[in-house]
Amino acid sequence: MVAAGSKAIRQLIERYRPAYQICGHIHESWGEDLIGMTRCFNVAAVKEGRAALLDLATGQLTRLNLE
């Protein structure tokens, strides 16, 4: 996900360094990536039949195919 998405959101992540960044919708980068130590999750592109569940207690991402 590092190469796609909002530059402003990336700047916020780099500045505040949250543990997680969670988004849905961007089609170019579905899944998980890192920006520094921040785990970035793009959890949905439902129109394309993709979604994911993120367990915040464990940090485990489960990818779902809805087709």
Consecutive 10-residue runs of the chain (67 residues): their mean pLDDT? 74 95 75 89 76 85 81
- Beta strands 38-42 and 44-45, pairing class: unpaired
How far apart are alpha carbons 60 and 67 in whole angstroms?
Answer: 22
pLDDT at position 43 = 76
pTM beyond 0.85: no
